[in-house]
Amino acid sequence: MASASPSPSPPDFDPVAATPEQLAQYGLPPRPSMDEAPQDFARWEKMVTELKGMELVHPSFKIIQRDVTSRTRDRYEAQKWKKTNWAGAVISDFVFNLVESDWTVPRPEFGRGDHIAWYSAAYVGLDGYRMDSDDVLAGGTGHDYYKAKNGFYKTYAWFEWYPAYLVELEGFPVRPCDRVFCEVLGDLPRDDKKGAFFIYNYTTRKYTSLSFCAPPGVSLRGDSAEWIVEGEEPEANFHVVEFDRCRAQKTNRRWYNLSSAATVTSTCQDGTVCTATIQDDETVIVRYGGARDK
């Protein structure tokens, strides 16, 4: 599943002068180039400075296994996701190895129909958009609503390398209205079997970082970067998710924003439609729309 969690950085640790290996050792995101991406470097420096003294959470891992059918590559979920389950923004190009964004965790409510539970998830991810791409490396927040006990919601952090199941990070607090930063990265071009997920909760001032390996027979292609709200049938009403500071990096260390991104709209089988609007080069807004237009 995931490797052992990193250790907290010592008080005198200088992330600006640290090696990439030292940053990974202490669970910190990789450092952008000061010369090639000064704006991204400034954002990174501000965040890692804030992280000094913050609580590094060591979560436990819970596999979320909702789908009763086998999750094999033969199911070719990439096609289904692209056409029905994804709403957000996507850059389809080669070769991405990092994607990140900020957003505010929504408070979910029940969706359409009479069900036991409704589900939704906001995330940043790599791969899965192209028709010949059969994996998705992703991480973000989940927002589910349950009918039992007069109705209640659940929000949580998670990561996934599809076709393996989604993994909930138990013990890492994520609540509605919390502001989070999420980053997913691969180790391309060195190793297409390694991935990592970093999440920082600005509101609680807690963070965690973990690395993990691809499922058997799967490798990272880096053929798309995405900012997505995915609705698993039946989809929870998440109202609005606004992805801010949307950035992705290629293996050549060049950074990209949404200026070259396309939007995708989800249409679930129950008629729920979710739309996406790119507001500016770094912001995409995803809205739960309810019923499909007649």
Q: Is 188 exposed, middle or buried (0-12, 13-18, 19+ CB in 10 A)?
A: buried
- From the list 227, 280, 229, the residue with the least C-alpha distance to 96 is 227
- Asked whether 109 and 153 are in contact (CB, 8 A), the reply is yes
Instruction: Output the 3-class SS for the chain.
Output: CECCCCCCCCCCCCCCCCCHHHHHHCCCCCCCCCCCCHHHHHHHHHHHHHHCCCEECCCEEEEECCCCCCCCHHHCHHHHHHHHHEEEEEEECCCEEEEEEEEECCCCECCCCCCCEEECEEEEEECCCCCCCCCEEEEEEEEEEECCCCCEEEEEEEEEEECCCEEEEECCCCCCCCEEEEEEEEECCCEEEEEEEEEEECCCCEEEEEEEECCCCCCCCCCEEEEEEECCCCECECCEEEEEEEEEEECCCCEECHHHCEEECEECCCCEEEEEEEEECCEEEEEEEEECCC
**Catalytic pick from 230, 232, 233, 235?**
230
Contact at 8 Å (CB) between 136 and 230?
A: no
The CA distance from 80 to 219, in Å, is: 20
Please say if 230 is a catalytic residue: yes
Provide the annotated active-site residues.
230
